Amino acid sequence: MLFDSHAHVDDKRFDADRAEVIARLAAGGVTGFLNVGADMASSARSLTLAEQYDNIYAAVGVHPHDAKDVRESDYDQLAAWAAHPKVVAIGETGLDYYYNLSPREVQQRIFIRHLDLARQLDLPFIIHDRDAHGDVLAIIKKEAKGLRGVFHCFSGSLEMAREVIKLGFYVSLAGPVTYPNAAKLKEVAASVPLERLLIETDSPYLTPQPHRGRRNEPAHVRYVAETIAALRGLSLEQVAAATAANARELFRLP
């Protein structure tokens, strides 16, 4: 059975049919998903969603896009939310130098504060890294020793993936691995240790190839798993079982 380790089903694009989207999980062989906060409002919505469904869990945190809006009191609120048993991670957090919607030095400071929070609460963290590989790795090496975490929607090279795994972290692959021109990601998918691999949709974004151009949803994580299975010469069931077990291990799920 599949587990989607990163989704945003609280997003307004699901307002019209959220219950139906969640109901489609079982038909696709998906046991559940982790709904990930991107700012304070979406973190609150993620927790509310997790409270409503047994098979949905939440992560709370502030995306680098919104780092400029973080207030000191927000850390207390994140910690309070994280005390809830359905909150299993801090994030997403990290650096995004593609859009630079927050100043880079602010992104870096907020990223480090999230890592401090993960350490204090003994929770894993979820990293967003876009066009910022060098700085993300530098911060991780300095600030995240002994912590657990995952590079969500991994976009680096195989060499970077190996370095991330050597540091003790997981790599998560999303819809782009299914795209025909994604040679670099396919190399990562075929080569990294299966015990360090997660799968995700990042719904409603990054829809896999068969549905590309339309809204993504957690049931589509199956296409990510099928692509990885084909690249590795494994069955879908083997990839599903391994990645779901990895998610349980990282996020300490039941």
Q: Is 211 annotated as a binding residue?
A: no
pLDDT recorded at residue 88: 98
Average pLDDT rounded to a whole number, residues 113-139: 98
pLDDT recorded at residue 51: 98
For residues 64 and 62, give the distance between their C-alpha atoms in angstroms, rounded to a whole number: 7
Q: Is 63 annotated as a binding residue?
A: no
pLDDT recorded at residue 136: 98
Per-residue pLDDT of 207-233, as tens digits, reads 999 999 999 999 999 999 999 999 999
Residue 121 binned pLDDT confidence (cut-offs 50, 70, 90) = very high
pLDDT recorded at residue 85: 98
Per-residue pLDDT of 160-212, as tens digits, reads 999 999 999 999 999 999 999 999 999 999 999 999 999 999 999 999 999 99
| CATH value at residue 83 | 3.20.20.140
Calculate what percentage of the chain has a pLDDT beyond 90: 99
Q: Is 152 annotated as a binding residue?
A: yes
Average pLDDT rounded to a whole number, residues 95-120: 98
Q: Is 128 annotated as a binding residue?
A: yes
Q: H or E segment at 155?
A: none
Per-residue pLDDT of 27-53, as tens digits, reads 999 999 999 999 999 999 999 999 999
Structural domain total, the chain: 1
Per-residue pLDDT of 50-88, as tens digits, reads 999 999 999 999 999 999 999 999 999 999 999 999 999
The boundaries of the domain holding residue 119 are 2-251
Contact in structure between 88 and 253 (CB atoms under 8 Å): yes
Claim: this prediction has a pTM higher than 0.95 = yes
Q: Is 133 annotated as a binding residue?
A: no
Q: With left for phi above 0 and alpha for psi between -120 and 50, is residue 145 left, alpha or beta? A: beta
For CA atoms 6, 8, 14, 18, give the dihedral sign.
positive
For residues 70 and 184, give the distance between their C-alpha atoms in angstroms, rounded to a whole number: 34
Q: H or E segment at 41?
A: helix 40-52
Per-residue pLDDT of 144-164, as tens digits, reads 999 999 999 999 999 999 999
